[in-house]
Amino acid sequence: MKRLPVLAFLVWVCALFYVGIFLFVGGFLLVRLEVNRTSTCEDVLLPSSAGSGSDFCRAQPRFRRAVVLIIDALKADFARYDRSNLSPHPYENKLPVLDELVASRPAQGRLFTFQADPPTTTMQRIKGFTTGSLPTFIDVGNNFASSAILEDNLIHQLGQAGKRVVFMGDDTWENLFPKKFHRSLPFPSFNVKDLHTVDNGILQHIYPTMKGDDWDVLIAHFLGVDHCGHRYGPDHPAMADKLTQMNGVIRSVVEHLQNDTLLVVMGDHGMTDTGDHGGESPKETEAALFLYSPSPLFPAPETKADPTVVPQTDLVPTLALLLGVPIPYSSVGQVLLPLFPLPGQAEGQGGGPDRAEALWINVKQVNRFLETYSSMAKDIPPDRLSELQAAFARVSAAYLSALQQGEPASPELLRSMQAYLSSVRDTCRASWARFHPVKMAAGLVLLAGACLLCYVLSELSSAVLAEGGVLRAPLVVGLCVAGCVAVAQLSSQGYVDVHWCLAAAAASSEVLFLWRNCRRSNRSSASSQKGRVAPPRLLSAALVVLLLRCASLLSDSYVIAEGRAVTFLLCSLGLYVPLRLNWDGLLLPPPAPDSQKPPGALPGLPAWVVRREGAALCLSLAVLVGSLYLSLAMHACREEQGGTCQPSPFLSPLARVQDSRLRNLHYLLSVAALAGWTHLLYRWLRHYGNLNSPGVAVVAARWLLPGAAVLTGLHWAVGSAPEDAFRGLAELIRLAQSALPRAACAVLGLGAALLWLDPLTVFLKHRAPAGPHRAASAPPPPPRYRASTGISPQAELHHLIPQLYQRIRRSLEDGPAEGGAGEDGRPAVEAYGLGTVYSAPLLLFAGLLGLGLLLLHPESMAPAFLLLLLEAAALLHIHAACSTLSSQQGDYSKAFSVPWAPVVLWSLAATQFFHATGHLPTFPSLQWGAAFVGFPDGHTGTLLPATLVTLNTFSAHILFAVACPLLLFWPLVCEVRWNRSGRSGGGEESEDVVMEMRLRESPQQFSSALLQLAVRYLLVSGAQVLASVCAAAILRRHLMVWQVFAPKLMFEASGFVVGSVSLLLGVTLILRVDMAVSGWFKRLLPDTSR
């Protein structure tokens, strides 16, 4: 078998897809240009203060101090109080202090809806309400790798003005603003299961700090509400306790306020009904904002014209002017007018500008930023820029004219300034979705070329591997072209753009390979069909289903309902299989043979074989349909689906289930599913005799797999216990929460390592010679070996096949073999498990891997993994039955070739179980709890938690990709043994069931079939990535691009990368097994018989 060429081709094809994805994403998800300039006091110069540029900063501000309480994930609904609600949910009516203050002191406090810009993740929201700028989509990837903010921001301006900023709470602030605080008390924020550490740490320091005099601005960022939502969801008693605690905090802080202090209580984002956030649904973007001061804060009574919804960017200019510091340079926010007095009424309000002056300062700052940004970046349309410049000129002239005449600004002028500010923000929001069309087009072309190359390689796999050295020229040419492009860039630009170097290397290698194989195909077409690319069947059912799947990715409705759409396509293609077999006349027993025709003139199977395979096919279809139907109960709901979708109760961890009986029932169901997963794998290995080997791989199957399952069940039992159930054992439970999953992972890792070390699961049973002993002087004859597949140490003899592998025998023996030990007394050997020598290690590895991935999911997802195993088994048996029934057509030229239909079904099953394990192609649906399995106290870095979350998210892709080679082996595993007399038994004319040893007989076909299967799977997966890329490119100005298509692209591309790496892992394991089998045969044969 050509192991290295197979692996080299697959790595090269994967690299081509990676380059295409990298290039397209680099052109599609560009961050906006940051303007690294800082506002100064001179920039805030009012027309009336000409000649004294620093008057604004030196003047008495409206407020000398400010206390900013950030309650993470304080949803707008959490802050509202409804007196008529007599039976509130745990998250309702828990903050009565806000309603009391607003009702009793309307001039001192007011409650707003705080509108966040997506992505609604903490780091991006902190950037938004400190810089006043708008985030970009790609910023969501930095949520757990916070880097310092380089743009001008409110914290920097406060420090420049000499104000002492004290921070306590979420340590994200310390990463964003290093060395910017007068004093800081950061607490670790990543552990979403910890509801109290951060909050209790703040409460220990906030009141002593407020009583002191060494601060001007106090920022406290509480995390308990957010973590409670992630762990339990909003509708849980723990949320009521946490909100009640925050109510007491606000009440105590109000009591400690002085008259010159402003209180800001705000949430950075909201949360969904499941406690998640990150998207742009109203439940995630609508937070709460409460402003209060012991002194009058709102100069005028509230009117209907006053805003009730405040964008988060508007907080930046508002706080800056209230505290007497310049507005940050890049802010596009608009001051909140109700906080400022009407024109001409600023006296007696404690200092600070009136509404007209505040708007004028705001307009000047925004216009200055617009001019600077437009000169540095050219992404704002020129015509729109001219309109904004003309609008500023009109507003500026009108305001200066009113100022020179000594008249207050008119309401029309104030509305014009507000309209200008809103227009600039809307323009920036639309323009900062910048694209690089050339990179996008290049990435799309590379992906399309990679898909075409996969098809050509799948059709020419045998010829390509037979020729040898086919890949050398494309790789060398690609590297040379990339080097030339790099040199050209250095000479012309002075730097190297990695995007174009990789694109040049990938494109040149693709083109050269396709050109050379096109020439080979043309040469072969004149002489023979061998090595020629066959035209695809345009009406193939598998191709039609794949095209429908790709077309569905261009519709936001189908992407939103992707789980059910993929389930429908998978079920439809599965039901098409027996219909097509019946149409071809292969599902029913053949008619009685014509006595006038010679025997064997018509190929076919005995009637009993057809009936048995047909029954197996129908049973497998029933299992498939049943698994698909049950898996629909595991699907999650998107926010866009609204009330039409009810989230599955299996998605919640057992700790969230309040009913103890229901929790116990879910736990028992999960343990039963876990036991079923382990038992089915063990039973299959035992059935085919793979547990008889003395090798270390059997240790993994017999002991490590069940041991890891037991540890997993114990971990679930500990994790599902309510926090207040065993207070006396809190430390022991905390130790078990980290020790049990780590031990389970260690056991699974040891099993995988042993499997890779010695993957053979074959047991040799020697039989003593039956004849008389030969003379000692006679040279021993070469031994004969009889390989058979057994199923147990007791050798259930009705399954034991004492049949010689005929073709292997020819390479091992000099003459024909007899049953038993031969007349010459030479020993015979029965090899148990040799018929599944390739599939058994792969299945065991997939079982170990699946158990590890299940450990990263909520306990209630165990039934979903059991359904995954049943569905995979059903698909494999459907494929095996179809292969057996199709053999009646007598076409044995592609004996090991896997058709397109099973490959498409396998790929669709991976996507279907991505949804059946509670995942969605949206960022709020990420199961962050996976990062804390075995690490309840959190992490010191981001690599390990990111890896755990990735493994959790793409578990289905990993398992189906690793197990993909089973599609090649399963028809051989389920091989039917029959003879022409129609009986299932021995006989001189019986067909030998050599199972997977047929692959050893034809190593060239084995290599080509394995390569063909792998590239076909990559083609099916890559076609879906190409469809997502096309959807994002074509619909980049669509209303739902950032809510639906961009996240789908990111998840589809990430799933392909993870799945392709997993496929390489599975193929590498097969190559490792083949190497071990070769070594085993070499050790088996003595020198005299080689």
Of the listed ranges 279-293, 373-387, 660-674, the least confidently predicted one is: 373-387
Residues 647, 918 contacting (CB under 8 angstroms): no
Strands 261-266 and 109-115: unpaired
**Which of 445, 430, 510, 380 lies closest to 27, judged by CA?**
445
- Residue 923, judged by CB atoms within 10 A of its CB (0-12, 13-18, 19+), counts as buried
Where residue 1017 falls (left for φ over 0; alpha for ψ -120 to 50; beta otherwise) is alpha
pLDDT tens-digit map of 4-54:
999 999 999 999 999 999 999 988 876 667 788 888 887 765 554 443 344
Tokens at 305, concatenated: 């014209």
DSSP code, position 75:
B
pLDDT (tens digit, 9 = 90+) per residue, 206-228?
A: 999 999 999 999 999 999 999 89
In this prediction, residue 45 carries a pLDDT of: 55
Give the number of other Cβ atoms within 10 Å of residue 347's Cβ: 9
Element (H, E) at 457: helix 437-459
Averaged pLDDT for residues 78-87: 91
Residue-wise DSSP of 890-936: ---TTTTPPPHHHHHHHHHHHHHHHHHTT--SSGGG--GGGGGTT-T
Evaluate if residue 347 carries a pLDDT over 80.
no
Tell me how far CA of residue 620 lies from CA of 221, 575, 616, 875, 970, in angstroms. 55, 11, 6, 7, 14
Indicate the helix (H) or strand (E) that contains 1061.
helix 1046-1084
Q: What angle do CA 509, 512, 518 make, to 5 degrees?
A: 135
Listed ranges 276-285, 955-964, 1073-1082; the one with the highest mean pLDDT: 955-964
- Indicate whether 905 pLDDT > 80: yes
Q: pLDDT class for 74, splitting at 50, 70, 90?
A: very high
Q: What is the average pLDDT across 788-815?
A: 37
Note the pLDDT of residue 916: 94
> What pLDDT, on a 0 to 100 scale, did the predictor assign at position 150?
82
Helix, strand, or coil (residue 767):
strand
Of 827 and 91, more confident: 91
Q: Would the pLDDT of 358 be above 50?
A: yes
Q: Are strands 763-767 and 828-832 parallel, antiparallel or unpaired?
A: antiparallel
What span, in angstroms and rounded, lies between the C-alpha atoms of 764 and 762? 7
The closest alpha carbon to 516, from 579, 485, 549, 472, belongs to: 472
Rounded Cα distance, 528 and 617, in Å: 36
3-state DSSP percent of the chain in helix, strand and coil, to 5: 60, 5, 35
Question: Above 70 in pLDDT, residue 827?
Answer: no
Mean pLDDT of 650-665: 80
pLDDT digits (tens, 9 = 90+) for 514-528: 888 877 666 655 555
Distance, in Å, from the CA atom of 650 to the CA atom of 5, rounded to the nearest integer, reads 45
Q: Mean pLDDT of all residues in the chain?
A: 83
Residue 262 β-bridge partners: 66
> What is the pLDDT, as a whole number, of residue 820?
43
What is the percent of the chain with per-residue pLDDT over 70, rounded to a whole number? 83
Top pLDDT among 88 and 139 is at 88
CA dihedral for 676, 681, 687, 691, sign (positive or negative): negative
Nearest to 135 by CA among 153, 156, 114, 117: 117
pLDDT tens, residue by residue, 309-323: 999 999 999 999 999
pLDDT at 1074: 93
* Integer angstrom CA distances of residue 1025 from 514, 569, 996, 1059: 21, 17, 34, 12
- Does the pLDDT at position 257 exceed 90? yes
Token representation of residue 579: 């219909």
Residue 175 class from Cβ within 10 Å (0-12 exposed, 13-18 middle, 19+ buried)? middle
* Distance between CA atoms of residues 163 and 477, nearest Å: 62
Question: CA–CA separation, 935 vs 191, rounded Å?
Answer: 9
Which of 305-319, 617-631, 996-1010 has the highest mean predicted lDDT (pLDDT)?
Answer: 617-631
Q: Which of 235-244, 462-471, 647-656, 972-981 has the highest mean pLDDT?
A: 235-244
According to the model, what pLDDT value does residue 619 have? Answer: 95
Sequence length of the chain is 1090
Query: Burial of 348 by CB count in 10 Å (0-12 exposed, 13-18 middle, 19+ buried)?
Result: exposed
259/272 Cα distance (integer angstroms): 37
Position 636 scores a pLDDT of: 87
Strand ranges in 276-372 using DSSP code E only, listed in sequence order: 286-292, 309-311
- The CA-to-CA distance between both ends of the chain, in Å, stands at 18
Is residue 339 over pLDDT 80? Answer: yes
Q: What is the mean pLDDT of residues 604-625?
A: 87
pLDDT surpassing 70 at residue 158: yes
**DSSP 8-state assignment for residue 983:** -
**What integer is the mean pLDDT of 696-717?**
93
Sign of CA dihedral 717, 723, 728, 733: positive
Is the sign of the CA dihedral 10, 13, 17, 23 positive or negative? positive
